[in-house]
Structure 1
């Protein structure tokens, strides 16, 4: 029955609907697919549905191979569609997929890209120093902030021209790593909590919006995920570097690429889009897989040249934020007012300028607190189960 449903319904009916260019048609067919995914309980039917949507590939993904399965490619592209409604609906589809008890979904979308840990640079300090031979006091591959358009309009007397605002971004280091390879959890938690600068925070002025509110949710959700994933025999610690092919080029995968790209635009996207993007990323962060945990939740990993992680994407957003906030008059009062309106504590009144950016800042602050809570809960769960 499952295979028959695949050919007679999914391939014959759903695929043309999902591949069409009409926005109304895409939206209605994606909404229907969402409903189907949520309702499917048969393991065989779920597998056929997943193969239809994502294909059967489990090997490393390459930039040239992202169109290998046209429907998968189209659906992931729809997560970054010009229509916000289509983007939200498709992101919701993937969020539902990530919660299904099917290992292939996670392997196909993200895990196969992280298998060799080649997002890291596993070199000894002396090797790294030799590779980064110093030229004019800077590594040969260092980014000159003065040449970077993000920093080009900083004046010498501007307080933001000091690199202090980047101090929340931990330097690549092994000092904070314990012998078992785990970074001390309080440093990770603080890295996320301190990522958004104090002048861009507003939750401390509103009761009931502290970091601790995320701990209960993270604990419950992580427990649920562990219940789903425990039969998949995932390793509890990262694959040893000596067994990894670190020389192979790293590609984060089409799915993570789109999510990171959208995360990088959080200050310029509608509030509802941002909520859905961060919701999908938090679901991925909750998964009890060592490589996914390392890539998404450890700010201290030594990223290989040209690679980005969730933390590095957020650092970049914070840099953009710091450049833009000082140009907005009465930034802090406006930020607090927008937060209160979102919470229903203030009635809608006069329109506020830069509201998209202000809402983006609020989502960013909340997301960093959520990631901190997830990191804390996962660490203590692993510590309690360690021999």
Structure 2
């Protein structure tokens, strides 16, 4: 009984001491009045806000709003109604601007950020919300700001809300008729300035004077495009670009993520707003140009080529900075390529209209405004560094819009057959191809690397512009050839080729002394597929073509069979892989399955085009060029040969085509090289032993020692390997083409 009485008394006491239910609105109003009373009662204006109860009361008000929303459901609660009707956000914005008490702006931004991120209902379209948000954005991005962290969080919260409710973008951009006209005229002036500072394809700009650094040579360009400072240009876009230059990595990351949220809005109308009504495109390309101009021109091109690049987010990791500083100037290189990757992602994620506008502005301001003048000047050092940087840039660009502008910049848009005298249609294209045959071997190697990078990009117009437009009519063939029955083709073409070689003075007595002819055993090809077994002529043709390349180098000049793992078979696997990549690359390019019929009487003489002309000229000098240059030339030609276009395959890999007068193919060029080789090696004692020594040195199996005729011997080794590579490419391609 006593126990029961104690329990009853305890429950009675609990009921008597229970707090009355709290009225949320009364509590919300009390916290707000306490904040306003502080300004009425306080006399110490220097007291920091963190030493007052204002931060605590703002947190309580936020908690009440969030709790009320969970209780009210779809309807707006009384506390939110009070906040809107009494313009509390407007008042807070004014207090933050006044920085009273000191540090108030941080507290206001934190409060705004949490309201926008924690309140689930759409509120940013309400005038008593977006007006103070606009005013608070104007307080962001000011010079020497102490609130960058809070600003970046606030802007990120705004952009997150816009991502959820894209229709509020108009309110955040503050687009009025006057501002739209002003922004549009500013954008047009920027593009006009870029166009006037850059050259058109028909007229080259006056190259700037040589300078010791890229930064100094870009100073004039920077003056021509002054940056839009937050003091004169307001709005969320300039603020984001300003915060993106912060020294605080966290602030920089948040601002870049915020801009990506805005740009990736999928609606075309929002893309149009950002493209035409804001300075976004101009500021992005301007920032890219600024970072490029900070790269010193004293860089070693080898360091640039070895730079692996990085995704833009990686610059904010702890290990990124240490890894990027592997060579002098690498920090600036790393910053530029990280931002280039960021622009690349922006143009990929943006709606088409915005992505194209960003890419075109980058084309005008960076490519034409900065890079082109450097590539067209006479300083070899400047040409070398900027070509290497451009090659590295090509490697990292994969956005379709940005890649299209890059191709237009480098090659132009011509699709008609080239003419020998036509050297001024696109001056940069012509000059870059000429650089592949430059007096400086370093410039030639670097420019060839640029074209090799281009050939690996998923853009059909690159192959069309450089090669295919000149092979379209197949005028490299003798008129009337190619119409015989396929079963007779091999025998007759081999006979014709033999007759041509016998008449060629380079090949006098070749078969008697060199072992080039019947002494070399033909490759025995494995069984390929059931179709070849059913049709032996297919297998025979594959074997003949492959062996034409394998037997091209005379026996005494061959050394690969003397080194383990250096045989022809090693190239077959690589050729399979390369063919698979190129086939995937060109799958959507609608290339024909078979060659186009040749014209019986071509109207003009065949011209292979400037690009192939230079490559063939380089191959013709393979016995007298540096080893590294030979490797690069053969690498580019191998890339071309592996593409599954019937005209490319025929012109580069078919030894038996009957060439029209004055025309040359890759095989006929190699035949001439072999003729030159036969004359040269006759004067070298123990040529096979010396070739073997040089090969082992190149493979790192022996220490390098002085060898006579070392350039010639290295050229012979590259020639042998190139012929094996072409044979492997023909081996993996022909069955596909025959099927």
Give the superposition deviation at 1:375: 0.3
Structure 2 distance, partners of 1:220, 1:160, is 36
Matched, 1:27 2:384: yes
Give the superposition deviation at 1:35: 1.2
Given candidates 676, 701, 708, the residue that maps to 1:320 is 676
Which SS does the other structure have where 1:64 is aligned?
coil
Which SS does the other structure have where 1:230 is aligned?
coil
Structure 2 distance, partners of 1:338, 1:17, is 39
Instruction: Report Cα offsets for 1:62-110 as digits up to 9, x if no partner.
Output: 1011332110010000001111111100000000001100001100000
Given candidates 292, 295, 300, the residue that maps to 2:651 is 295
Give the superposition deviation at 1:248: 2.5
Residues 81 and 123 of structure 1: CA distance in aligned 2, closer, same or farther (over 3 Å): same
Residues 286 and 159 of structure 1: CA distance in aligned 2, closer, same or farther (over 3 Å): closer
Matched, 1:332 2:719: no
Instruction: Report Cα offsets for 1:2-28 as digits up to 9, x if no partner.
Output: 111111111110110000110100001
Instruction: Report Cα offsets for 1:181-225 as digits up to 9, x if no partner.
Output: 998111000000000011100001000001000000000110011
Task: Check whether the contact 1:118–1:245 (CA below 8 A) recurs between aligned residues.
Answer: no
Structure 2 distance, partners of 1:144, 1:231, is 45
Given candidates 547, 556, 562, the residue that maps to 1:190 is 547
Residues 124 and 3 of structure 1: CA distance in aligned 2, closer, same or farther (over 3 Å): closer
Residues 267 and 56 of structure 1: CA distance in aligned 2, closer, same or farther (over 3 Å): same
Give the superposition deviation at 1:257: 0.2
Higher-Rg member (1/2) = 2
2:412 alignment counterpart: 55
The 5 A counterparts of 1:98-109 are 98-109=455-466
Matched, 1:225 2:582: yes
2:736 alignment counterpart: 381
Give the superposition deviation at 1:122: 3.4
Structure 2 distance, partners of 1:254, 1:54, is 12
Q: Please, which runs of 5 or more residues in structure 2 have no aligned partner?
A: 1-357, 483-499, 521-534
Structure 1 distance, partners of 2:582, 2:515, is 38
Task: Check whether the contact 2:511–2:517 (CA below 8 A) recurs between aligned residues.
Answer: no
2:134 alignment counterpart: none
1:134 alignment counterpart: none
Structure 1 distance, partners of 2:397, 2:635, is 22
Task: Check whether the contact 1:116–1:245 (CA below 8 A) recurs between aligned residues.
Answer: no
The 5 A counterparts of 1:127-146 are none
2:703 alignment counterpart: 347
Structure 2 distance, partners of 1:162, 1:348, is 31
Which SS does the other structure have where 1:266 is aligned?
coil
Given candidates 277, 293, 301, the residue that maps to 2:633 is 277
Aligned residues: 354
Matched, 1:9 2:360: no
1:363 alignment counterpart: 718
Structure 2 distance, partners of 1:164, 1:364, is 17
Structure 2 distance, partners of 1:216, 1:181, is 21
2:557 alignment counterpart: 200
Give the superposition deviation at 1:246: 3.0
Structure 2 distance, partners of 1:322, 1:95, is 31
Structure 1 distance, partners of 2:689, 2:476, is 40
2:610 alignment counterpart: 254
Residues 122 and 9 of structure 1: CA distance in aligned 2, closer, same or farther (over 3 Å): same
Structure 1 distance, partners of 2:707, 2:469, is 45
The 5 A counterparts of 1:60-209 are 60-123=417-480, 165=516, 184-209=541-566
Residues 144 and 204 of structure 1: CA distance in aligned 2, closer, same or farther (over 3 Å): closer
Instruction: Report Cα offsets for 1:229-261 as digits up to 9, x if no partner.
Output: 01001001100225x763421100000000000
Higher relative contact order (CA 8 A, sep 6+): 1
2:591 alignment counterpart: 234
Residues 382 and 123 of structure 1: CA distance in aligned 2, closer, same or farther (over 3 Å): closer
Structure 2 distance, partners of 1:255, 1:181, is 32
Residues 163 and 275 of structure 1: CA distance in aligned 2, closer, same or farther (over 3 Å): closer
Give the superposition deviation at 1:381: 2.9
The 5 A counterparts of 1:298-309 are 298-309=654-665
* Aligned-CA RMSD value: 2.8
Q: Please, which runs of 5 or more residues in structure 1 have no aligned partner?
A: 126-141, 169-177
Which SS does the other structure have where 1:25 is aligned?
helix
